[in-house]
Structure 1
Amino acid sequence: MTFTPPAPFTSRPTLRGTFGMSASTHWTATATAQAVLERGGNAFDAAVAGAFVLHVVEPHLNGPGGDLVALIRPAGAAEPVVLMGQGPAPARADIAHFTGRGLDLVPGAGGLAAAVPGAVDAWLLLLRDHGTWELADVLAFAIGYARDGHPLVAGAAATIARVADLFHERWPTSAERWMPTGSPPAPDTVVRNPAWADVLDALVAAGDRDAGRESRIDAARERWMTEVLPEAAAFVAHPHRHADGADHAGILDADDLRSWRAGYEPAVTARFRGWDVYKAGTWTQGPALLHTLRLLDDADDARLDPSTPEGAHLLLEAQKLAYADRDAWFGDGGGAVDADDLLSDAYVSARRALIGHAASAELRPGSPDGREPRLPPLRTDRLSADGSTGEPTVDRSGQTRGDTCHIDVIDRWGNVVSATPSGGWLQSSPTVPALGFCLGTRLQATWLVPGHPASLTPGRRPRTTLTPTMLSRGDEVIAIGSPGGDQQDQWQLPVLLRMLVGGYTAQQAIDAPTLNTTALIDSFWPRTWVPAGAAVEDRLGDDVIGALEERGHRVRRAGDWALGRVSAVGRDADGLLWAAANPRGAQGYAAGR
């Protein structure tokens, strides 16, 4: 027995063609990526061009001072690899420095929370190694939008309005950058960032025109890491307001930046319904999706329908177990779990046996390698207004939340990219006026307690929520991802189940009503959790929602079209390419032919 789409209607078609496909969280980035494909570039050229445009058009969701995780699969490669753009904690970022300032958490905003920014170097590395275009041509799109202007999306305008007082009173350079008239801009206001355009022009000019293409890109990488970013670090070294309400100085310095570069890593994989599913390692939350799929793999197909009471309950309970293990065991070394232990048959079977008829209100990590799990102190909190936890930015009360973006590209040669850039939001820390951007705050995902795999440790990467996905089965491939902080994989999961088990098209699966658990430890300041919490879209229906409540889930209705921002591209077994994108928020789009 299986499950099928309840109705053929979708918000838009699943695009199909043979030439190339692009999908992202902003139509301009999608159009940029597709324009590169049309002009002969490959998927890697297109993704890099689209990503630099995302810095410009979604500044509240990502920025040059942020980070990046991607899965890339060059044509002909047997498996994808991870493009690692997550920088580590600075050399001076030890627990004692923070607790000595009276902190029990890394603040959610301010330069003290800055890790080494990894996104730009990672994108340039990808372009050098797998792209074909010159840097000048790839960056021309972003330079044009930064210098000539683009219409500000409603989400960015709303974010600026929420932090307007903070900008006016505490971060004047951010007020000058984002509120030049003295008031928050309205949606569709044409905004420009000439300082950032100048930085990009300087990266293009860094290379010798007589040198080779790769040498010119390496020169841009060197300038970025040794000249541009040190200027940003020096700017936030002066005390400024942070999310905890106090003034602190940043501790990132030029030596931290000089000693780090982006790189590649093997992916972690598990098998589900004949598909190989690939994720980044346990320095991300990615293996939690693999763990969840393993927990669900023995269930009858009909029990995996997220639109039924049984399916919704099963998804929520399986994810609680997977994320409890994430919160106890994931991190960059220092006692982190080995993914093979987490995904072993014996351990998965033991964890699966914990799923019962009623909703669990406990955080129940296991012992995948026999060690006792260690959880940080738990902070309970009420559900947020939209039922999600998201990735917090900050106003002075600490309640404003931001998010992330995503881009997928596949070309006619078989190159494919799934990338999730984030951090460096316009509201992360004060804008560096000469550069036009600010530094990110990824260190807030670390703990100020010793001995945990995600403890703050100099030189170690903070455990990131960025978690793109790639799947393959024979000649078929899927590249998929979503913004959403802790919800990124949770929002991908129902889409994948509906596609792989239910037979939905990609667009049908993305459009369908979704849900997620909030019974996990928030990866972002102020690090709370909601026992037995669940967020659902109202379109799941009163019967399903009522059944979840009867089982003990603390359900928050989030609205009809409020959860999930998935986009995806892929190739069918017959070689036909496809793409689909999230309609929620009227911002994500796919393009292709």
Structure 2
Amino acid sequence: MLHRPELHGTACAVSSTHWLASAAGMAMFDRGGNAFDAATAAALVIQVVEPHLNGPGGDVPIMVYDAATGSTQVVCGQGPMPRQATPEAFRRRGLAVIPGSGLLAATVPGAFGAWMRLLRDFGRLTVQDVLEPAIGYAEDGYPLLPKTAAMIEVMAPLFRDEWTESGRTYLHHGAAPAPGARMRNPALARTYRRILAEATAGGRTREAQADAAISAFYEGFVAEAVDRFMATEEPIDSTGRHNGGLLTGDDLAGWRVPVEATVALDYRGHSVHKAGPWSQGPVFLQQLALLEGFDINAMGFGSADHVHTVIESAKLAFADREAWYGDPEHADVPLAGLLDPVYAAARRTLIGSEASDVLRPGSPDGRKPWIPPVLDVSASSGDPDWLRQLADGIPTVLQRTAAKGDTCCVSATDRDGNMVVATPSGGWLKSSPVVPGLGFPLGTRGQMAWLDEGHNNSVAPGKRPRTTLSPTLALRDGAPYLAFGTPGGDQQDQWTLNFFVNHVDFGMSPQQAVEAATFHTDHVPSSFTPRRARPLAAVVEQDGFDPAVLTELRRRGHEVQTVAPMTLGKVCATGPDSHGGVLAAASPRGQQAYAVVR
């Protein structure tokens, strides 16, 4: 029995991780907009209403299927490291790893520019159209999510005593607001309004106005505020010390959002598209390449063979991520070799009947893999709670749960066949202090780069750190089919893989595939500091699998951990349906994601 209905419409569909964002996206269709306008408006609202998970200072990959040209592209909103970011720059500060919070991990904020680039190149509406809903919620307020309230409560001592601009933004008279309280961010509203004023003054066309908005952010008053803050402030960070940052206004001024080709792989009649190896996206394709050699359907959903095979495939694909992925503009990533069917066939032979506890990257094109050693930078148990939170670079409050990583998702499809999906993240309220006058903090994606020189993901000036953000587009017979993604940090390309396999191999509808019990492994080191790993862990949703299956998985060597039902991921999906209309699906997990069709 489904928790949510199967949604089908005739004109347009939006699915996102917040109901207010989905509603804002749907409103763009009333103004004559398309899927790209809808996604932009929804994402800008999410920057306001999910500040614990993302913001204008964060990052986003946006996957685009443009029906007019039949092309599939990636708008890359992952900003690069600052020009001063070298391994030596961090070591001079006595650091062996890049901190998971504070200013040192800040990259060029790519999210805002990416959404303006999407609007300019693919949309129909104006900057005012897509910004108005976000401005409204920032000025007039929105109901505070319980998870946001929980994070603010934990961080309140830090906000009161150290990150005082964050305190002015998120605390009410020095105290954390209650869940459901009406939350406002007038400073962010002023930032948006000033950008809008400069955009409107920039010209009459959508393109000119979007360019003016980008200039206001990256060369104008936003960049100036960031530069001034970075040059004068040394806030406390996860090291327990006060550190300034490396980012400058010149870093922002020297960057513009690239639009790139996708990376694709065919799987059982579907062309699956991901971002390049500056993201973790190709691990989705590597898993599919491995699973292509198994009859997953014959195993039966939820069987020990099914779970074991998917988990062992994930271990191999993610091991390659650790060894080989990085910004291809700065590193020689053997992507063609990693996706070669011959390579996949050889790797497939490593999947045996027992669970593996060894990290086993492969040797594409005969190259020797290397993964830097993981250093223990965990906080002490005697540290204050806020410092323990900062020491773990994930955007959620640390709890005894397997679903730590989180972010946001937006997907939209229109009657013309346009599809777009994105996973905005970064610049969350736990990442670093709010920049005075702007109403938002900067991101900490730099924590995912290594200080060990010679690795493809080693830190370097102007280089993108490898991100976990990983939305997916799928085509079938050359036509648009599905646009989907999920929050979840490192687990994104496991939970969405389960969704896709559920649909393609087990024949579930998108909503059934979203709601089906899911699982993942924590085999590889996390991309977030302190990069913990549990090599044999198999995390499964309780009551979703037969006890006999869990017993069999344990017999095969998996360390099975059960978590509460409906707690792993929040998959959001849209696409055309088989009757000439549109469909949408949204996970009931977290009671937050929402899909709308018309």
TM-score class, shorter: over 0.9
Distance 1:351 1:379, change over 3 A: farther
Residue 358 of structure 1 corresponds to 354
In 2: Cα distance, 1:171 partner to 1:210 partner = 38
Residue 441 of structure 1 corresponds to 444
1:191-230 counterparts in 2 under 5 A?
A: 191-207=183-199, 208=201, 211-226=204-219, 227-230=221-224
In 1: Cα distance, 2:242 partner to 2:397 partner = 14
Aligned residues of 1:30 and 1:590 also touching (Cα < 8 A)? yes
Shift of 1:303: 4.9
Shift of 1:394: 8.0
In 1: Cα distance, 2:53 partner to 2:203 partner = 37
Report the residue type matching 1:468 in the other structure: P
Aligned residues of 1:134 and 1:213 also touching (Cα < 8 A)? yes
Report the residue type matching 1:505 in the other structure: S
In 1: Cα distance, 2:230 partner to 2:195 partner = 22
Shift of 1:396: 11
In 1: Cα distance, 2:495 partner to 2:294 partner = 20
Distance 1:346 1:402, change over 3 A: closer
Shift of 1:529: 1.2
Residue 311 of structure 2 corresponds to 316
Residue 44 of structure 2 corresponds to 52
In 1: Cα distance, 2:516 partner to 2:469 partner = 23
Superposed CA deviations along residues 407-441 of structure 1, whole A, max 9, x for unmatched, are 00001111110111100001110112311100000
Does residue 501 (structure 1) correspond to residue 497 (structure 2)? The answer is no
1:254-265 counterparts in 2 under 5 A?
A: 254-265=249-260
Shift of 1:13: 1.1
Shift of 1:57: 0.5
Residue 326 of structure 2 corresponds to 331
In 1: Cα distance, 2:202 partner to 2:105 partner = 38
Shift of 1:566: 0.5
Q: Matched residue of 1:55: which SS?
A: helix
Distance 1:337 1:587, change over 3 A: same
Which of 126, 135, 144 is matched with 1:134 structurally? 126
Distance 1:303 1:375, change over 3 A: farther
In 1: Cα distance, 2:227 partner to 2:397 partner = 22
Q: Matched residue of 1:427: which SS?
A: coil
Aligned residues of 2:109 and 2:443 also touching (Cα < 8 A)? yes
In 2: Cα distance, 1:212 partner to 1:13 partner = 40
Aligned residues of 1:394 and 1:428 also touching (Cα < 8 A)? no
Q: Matched residue of 1:360: which SS?
A: coil
In 1: Cα distance, 2:46 partner to 2:455 partner = 34
Q: Matched residue of 1:33: which SS?
A: helix
Q: Matched residue of 1:247: which SS?
A: coil
1:217-256 counterparts in 2 under 5 A?
A: 217-226=210-219, 227-237=221-231, 238-256=233-251
Which of 553, 573, 581 is matched with 1:568 structurally? 573
Structure 2 stretches lacking a partner, 5+ long = 379-390
In 2: Cα distance, 1:491 partner to 1:152 partner = 27
Which of 96, 100, 107 is matched with 1:104 structurally? 96
Shift of 1:274: 0.4
Structure 1 stretches lacking a partner, 5+ long = 1-8, 383-388
- Greater shift, 546-555 or 582-591, is seen at 546-555
Report the residue type matching 1:23 in the other structure: S
In 2: Cα distance, 1:18 partner to 1:358 partner = 48
- Greater shift, 163-172 or 250-259, is seen at 163-172
Residue 422 of structure 2 corresponds to 419
Superposed CA deviations along residues 488-534 of structure 1, whole A, max 9, x for unmatched, are 11100111011011111111111111001100111011112111122
Shift of 1:476: 4.6
* RMSD after superposition: 2.1
TM-score by length of 1: 0.94
Distance 1:335 1:219, change over 3 A: closer
Report the residue type matching 1:232 in the other structure: V
Aligned residues of 1:380 and 1:529 also touching (Cα < 8 A)? no
1:140-159 counterparts in 2 under 5 A?
A: 140-159=132-151
Which of 115, 118, 131 is matched with 1:123 structurally? 115
Aligned residues of 1:305 and 1:312 also touching (Cα < 8 A)? no
Residue 385 of structure 1 corresponds to none
Distance 1:236 1:305, change over 3 A: farther
- Greater shift, 543-552 or 411-420, is seen at 543-552
In 2: Cα distance, 1:466 partner to 1:222 partner = 25
Shift of 1:283: 0.7
Distance 1:257 1:205, change over 3 A: same
Q: Percent identity between the aligned chains?
A: 45
Distance 1:381 1:534, change over 3 A: farther
Which of 539, 544, 550 is matched with 2:549 structurally? 544
In 2: Cα distance, 1:218 partner to 1:209 partner = 8
Residue 458 of structure 1 corresponds to 461
In 1: Cα distance, 2:239 partner to 2:193 partner = 37
Residue 343 of structure 2 corresponds to 347
Superposed CA deviations along residues 224-257 of structure 1, whole A, max 9, x for unmatched, are 0012033124314411111121111011001111
Aligned residues of 2:8 and 2:577 also touching (Cα < 8 A)? no
Aligned residue-pair number: 579
TM-score by length of 2: 0.93
Report the residue type matching 1:496 in the other structure: F
Shift of 1:393: 3.9
Q: Matched residue of 2:424: which SS?
A: strand
1:298-313 counterparts in 2 under 5 A?
A: 298-303=293-298, 305-313=300-308
Aligned residues of 2:267 and 2:292 also touching (Cα < 8 A)? yes
Residue 394 of structure 2 corresponds to 392
In 2: Cα distance, 1:171 partner to 1:473 partner = 50
Shift of 1:390: 9.7
Superposed CA deviations along residues 416-475 of structure 1, whole A, max 9, x for unmatched, are 101111000011101123111000000000001000000011110000111100001123
